[in-house]
Amino acid sequence: MKSAVAITSKIHLNLNLNLRRNHLYSPLSRSIFRGKAKPVFQSPPLIRTHSSNPNPNPIMASSFKPEQARAPPALPLPTPPVTKFKVGLCQLSVTADKERNIAHARRAIEEAAEKGAKLIILPEIWNSPYSNDSFPVYAEDIDAGGDASPSTAMLSEVARLLKITIVGGSIPERSGDRLYNTCCVFGSDGKLIAKHRKIHLFDIDIPGKITFIESKSLTAGETPTIVDTDVGRIGIGICYDIRFQELAMIYGARGAHLICYPGAFNMTTGPLHWELLQRARATDNQLYVATCSPARDEGAGYVAWGHSTLVGPFGEVLATTEHAEDIIIAEIDYSILELRRTSLPLSKQRRGDLYQLVDIQRLNSQ
């Protein structure tokens, strides 16, 4: 399906540790609190209950305190509104003509809906070339809507007319004097139901390969985004967000059925990490992961890897494509989630006595 990629030189990917958003999530090791210091979140006392399905070693299981590995405790997986449905991943070509990009995206959405897709996902930065110079020029005032945001106005209208849910990739957003890389989610009534601003900005330097500093023009978002839709509970990340497993873990603990990552990986990191990261996020959290990339344009200043993909909760690639324009239609079956979680009961095997992921936003809202 994919051609082999020969790596002939050692590549150093400079991932700045400062990009981790410690005010949004905090992985704690309980072993460091054996002295005088105390954790920022004190979990409630463990309540032991009797089970009709006893563990072979209940004393050991109790001492592991799996329910305390997430703070606040993980939410149960909600019953989704539908069990099976089709998703459409629209891998679009992007040009410098914004009006053309909007019309082209609309046609792709309509085609995916005609093929039965109830959830449609667009790529990262689908209405604009991907460059720091282009972001200010193509940016839209999403909150103002209407003529101030023709891209989201189109998404709202087509979602309402076709009665579908749209994860609208991302576009440059202008809010006051700041720019964001923003994904809008529209419900089947055409209403904006979520807006995710890219939390982890794409600032990398791989000598001799690629340097891109997104923070030269964009501001990082401040909020994880999870939304209940007609096709289940969906967590949203944008491209570089996929590298940070803490965000996906938060979505898993909040009961997500699916995480959508519009993304435009490049020709250096794409062959190495794109599929790997999707499968890792799906496997670790036992949920579906869907990604949507722009199609590859060899003549562009930034060349996307492509390969939009749907991954199942066992880390299996359910559908993918190569680098050209394409519309992938695939089925999501949420009944598989419980099956996989029963086969591998990770949530019951976590060591809350040793580590804990703190969802700071949920904790502060209590």
Catalogue the active-site residues: 124, 198, 239
Q: For the packed helices 98-114 and 150-162, what is the interaxial angle rounded to 10 degrees?
A: 20
Phi and psi at 103, nearest 5°, equal -65, -40
* Torsional class of 192: left (φ above 0), alpha (ψ -120 to 50), beta (otherwise): beta
- Measured CA to CA, the distance from residue 309 to residue 279 in angstroms comes to 10
Q: Are 90 and 121 in contact (CB under 8 A)?
A: yes
Strand, coil or helix: what is 301? coil
> Amino acid letter at 212?
F
CB 294 within 8 A of CB 124: yes
Query: Nearest 5°: phi and psi at 64?
Result: -75, -25
Residue with tokens 């949203």: 236
Q: How far apart are CA 252 and CA 235, in angstroms?
A: 8
* Six token digits for residue 105: 């995206």
Contact partners, residue 87, CB within 8 Å, separation at least 6: 117, 118, 119, 120, 121, 231, 290, 310, 329, 330, 331, 332
